[in-house]
Amino acid sequence: MKCPSCGGKENKVVDSRETLNSIRRRRECIDCGKRFTSYETVEMVPILVIKKDGSREAFDVVKVKNGILRASEKRPVTMHQVAQILDTLEKEILARGGEELEVSSSEIGDIVMRELKKIDEISYIRFAAVYRQFKDISTFLGFIKSFEDEMKAKL
């Protein structure tokens, strides 16, 4: 690890702390004595998303996060809860194993909807409205009616 101040290659780890998906290391340069921070993460198996049109693209957790944040705007959903949804999503995808993981966008949407439903009903419905791409108002109202029936059955 090169020192960002002097470029020296010798340093020592002063402190290590685990973060959500990485280890944060506080380092001190042996040559100049300045401290800097590095993050260590596990190299992940590439995940490919199979889109509705059949095309494939790399899984981008930021896209999913932005969708959840849009659906949860002005709702009592915390960033910690969003992070938990994303962790659950990644764990379920990675649990499949294999050299190259492929997951359909519909599976991603289903997992996110399931987790949002546990946290906030309005965010769940907002996410579903975009994810399911309802063709008309009657289809959307039918979805809300089935959700309402499901909630009544739980009571």
**Domains in the chain: boundaries:** 11-41, 47-154
Q: Identify the pLDDT of residue 136.
A: 85
Residue 42: phi and psi, rounded to 5, are -80, 135
Question: Taking a C-beta distance cutoff of 8 angstroms, is the pair 45, 94 a contact?
Answer: yes
CA triplet 51, 125, 71: central angle to 5 degrees?
70
C-alpha span between 144 and 146 (Å, rounded): 6
Mean pLDDT of the chain: 91
pLDDT exceeds 80 at position 99: no
Q: Identify the pLDDT of residue 77.
A: 96
C-alpha span between 90 and 112 (Å, rounded): 11
Q: Identify the pLDDT of residue 98.
A: 66
Lowest mean pLDDT among 2-6, 16-20, 47-51: 16-20
Q: Among all chains, which residue has been given the structure tokens 């004595």?
A: 33
Average pLDDT over residues 41-45: 74
pLDDT exceeds 80 at position 44: no
Q: Using alpha carbons, select from 123, 121, 130, 110 the residue that is nearest to residue 150.
A: 121
Which of 37-41, 74-78, 87-91 has the highest mean predicted lDDT (pLDDT)? Answer: 74-78
C-alpha span between 148 and 124 (Å, rounded): 12
Average pLDDT over residues 57-75: 95
